[in-house]
Amino acid sequence: MYWTLELASKLEDAPWPATKDELIDFAIRSGAPMEVIENLQELEDEGEVYDNIEDIWPDYPTKEDFLFNEDEY
């Protein structure tokens, strides 16, 4: 399983919190690349509910990771 920023961004609008099956369903319905669906299928399914993309990919960059000050614009 590998994630890139582009692949993970396909899940930004997912219905969080969600289970593995709900995320796979969302990815299929939204036309996400096959790599996203394959990555989700590789998750260990213990009935876990994921609250956000960081639960799946802990290294997902957030707005704080970028040096952009929205107050300046």
pLDDT band at residue 63 using 50, 70 and 90 as cut-offs: low
Of residues 29 and 61, more confidently modeled: 29
Q: What's the pLDDT score for residue 64? A: 60
pLDDT of residue 61: 78
Q: For the whole model, what pTM was predicted? A: 0.80
Measured distance CA(6)–CA(37) in Å, rounded: 13
CA separation for the pair 5, 72 (Å, rounded): 26
Domain ranges of the chain: 22-53
For residue range 1-52, list pLDDT tens digits in order.
Answer: 888 889 998 998 999 999 999 999 999 999 999 999 999 999 987 888 999 9
The Cα angle at residue 22 between residues 16 and 46, in degrees rounded to 5? 95
